[in-house]
Amino acid sequence: MNEKKPFVEVRDLTYSYEDGTQALKGINLTISEGEFIAFIGQNGSGKTTLSKCLNGLFKPTTGSVLVDGLDSKTTSIVQMVKRVGYVFQNPDHQLFNNNCMDEIAYGPRNIGLSEEEVQERVIEAAEVVGLNSIYFHEHPFFLNKGMRQRVAIASILALKPKLIIVDEPTTGQDVRQSLEIMDFLTDLNRNHGHIVIFVTHDMPIVSRYARRVVMMGGGQIIVDGHPADVYAQTENLAKAFVEPPQITQLAQLLKNRGFNPGTLSVTEMVDQYQKYCV
């Protein structure tokens, strides 16, 4: 079986802000095609800083970030955004045009594509995110947050990046809206070929959707693995100030009775209970 090709290779990455604060300390990370990853950790753990290093918004202080074979230190931001798209936590922070069509078209126009290709990309991206053309001439701020987020994602998709990073996609959303946006990101991953990284504090969402978890603390990667394996490491969870879902916490309390401390769902818990009873 062939291993998936690495798309991002981070080696000994450090990053310090202008005031001298060291936000990242010796990060090593490989991200391959097809992955769906959650970055988790408390505020200030380094997850957003790392995300911005991956798409070239921040350049490494030391170490390297290679994306599709290109070194972020020496590659222009134009070339980086063609490969890694970044969706901010608040879509209002990246929407600035007077209508949705111009918003989605901004990136392709900015990299010098012909107007014909720009329009093709706008239509394609809007279709992928489920944005009807009747909204093309609407001001983005007249739409609800879920729709504004889709416009923001469409504006990134129009540049056709391989990797999409979404910062806190479920913040400010109710349960239904949260599931809708996560189902949409899953579809981008499985059916459209995008690598997806989402930065979040929502542990039930991580349990339900992530196939890999990178848990950070103090500017370092504390654990990197499958959600069940990460949640089973109670000492590291405490170290990173991460509180797993309640069903996982219950399983951890019952681990001496044979329950898996990395249990992710009620269904798993019930299955283990039935085996225990037998």
Residue 90, pLDDT score: 79
Q: What local confidence, expressed as pLDDT, does residue 28 receive?
A: 98
Residues 6+ apart with CB under 8 A from 81: 55, 56, 107, 159, 161
**SS3 of 137, please?**
coil
Query: Which pLDDT does position 277 carry in this prediction?
Result: 67
Say what the pLDDT of residue 8 is. Answer: 97
| Sign of the dihedral through C-alpha 164, 210, 10, 193 | negative
Q: What is the pLDDT along the chain (278 residues), one digit of tens a residue?
A: 346 789 999 999 999 999 999 999 999 999 999 999 999 999 999 999 999 999 999 999 999 999 999 999 999 988 998 999 998 887 788 888 899 999 999 999 988 899 999 999 999 999 988 889 899 999 999 988 888 888 999 999 999 999 999 998 887 778 888 888 899 899 999 999 999 999 999 999 999 999 999 999 999 999 999 999 999 998 999 888 888 888 888 888 888 888 888 888 888 888 887 777 65
Give the Å distances, CA to CA, from 177 to 85, 144, 172: 22, 11, 9
Which domains are seen in the chain, by residue range? Answer: 1-83+161-241 (3.40.50.300), 93-149 (no CATH), 245-278 (no CATH)
SS3 state of residue 8:
strand
Neighbours of 117 (CB within 10 A): 12
What per-residue confidence (pLDDT) applies to 1?
Answer: 38
Report the Cα 88 to chain-centroid distance in Å: 10
